[in-house]
Amino acid sequence: MKTPHKTENDHITEARERLIEAALPHVVFDGWTAATLDAAIAESGVDGGLARLAFPRGGIDMALAFHHRADRALADELAAADITSLRIRERVTHCVRRRIELVAEHREAVRRGVALLALPIHAPEGARAIWQTADIIWTACGDTATDYNWYTKRMILGSVYSATVLYWLGDASPNFANTWAFLDRRIENVMSFEKSKAQLIDNPLVRAAMWGPMQVLGAIRAPGTR
């Protein structure tokens, strides 16, 4: 049987993976920069031209690729796992924790990526990356929302994930115990908010007062459900 012919995209995907692996030891010292990309090219043996196709903007593309790689690893892991026996809050907590654990050995690379994506010029892409992570988690947790809740869930979870990552980056406790306690508190806050929101919506007086805004919100649909 013939080996399937590799497309240009296949070669670029493979090059990205090899370059990221080669770059990680250098990110600790040089960050996600052109210097790190040059070092990765030299050590990985990837052709320089192919490397520029893989990461045309250099460091920022590498930082995003590193983030997306961990997202894919999380999605693959969750697809093979059975978390349906857990309560929703337990599922979300598990997923956020696993996402962080997947990059725990490269904490400095995460720190450098956070700093780079926090710059005003890159902040929109950083926000999209966090949104994607939140979407992967909610999808794995079985979220079926098709209205405005689809957006609010991802927005709130994105803020929880971001805050937990920032806490984790400065956590020196054994096995990051303080980080997981911090995560539990944030999830508890979110669940308390959702419970209060549901109680308000069920209140006849609130429903009457919010009829207009709720009509507007009711018209909002998740992507692909219109």
Per-residue pLDDT, 153: 87
Please tell me the least confidently modeled range out of 28-37, 72-81, 210-219: 210-219
- Whether the predicted pLDDT of 133 surpasses 60: yes
> Sorting pLDDT into bands at 50, 70 and 90, what band is 201?
very low
pLDDT digits (tens, 9 = 90+) for 92-114: 999 999 999 999 999 999 999 99
At 209, the pLDDT band (50, 70, 90 cuts) reads very low
pLDDT of residue 43: 95
Question: In order of start, what are the domains of the chain with their CATH numbers?
Answer: 1-56 (no CATH), 68-218 (1.10.357.10)
pLDDT digits (tens, 9 = 90+) for 136-156: 999 999 988 877 788 888 889
pLDDT value, residue 53: 94
Which amino acid is present at 2? K
Give the C-alpha distances (Å, rounded to integers) separating 189 from 66, 158, 183, 192, 196: 30, 14, 10, 5, 11
Alpha-carbon distance values, 112 to 22, 26, 121, 179, 226 (Å): 16, 11, 15, 19, 39
Find out whether 74 and 136 touch, Cβ atoms under 8 Å. yes
Average pLDDT, the chain: 87
The encoded tokens of residue 203 equal 């209140």
pLDDT tens-place string over residues 161-189: 999 999 999 999 999 999 999 999 999 98
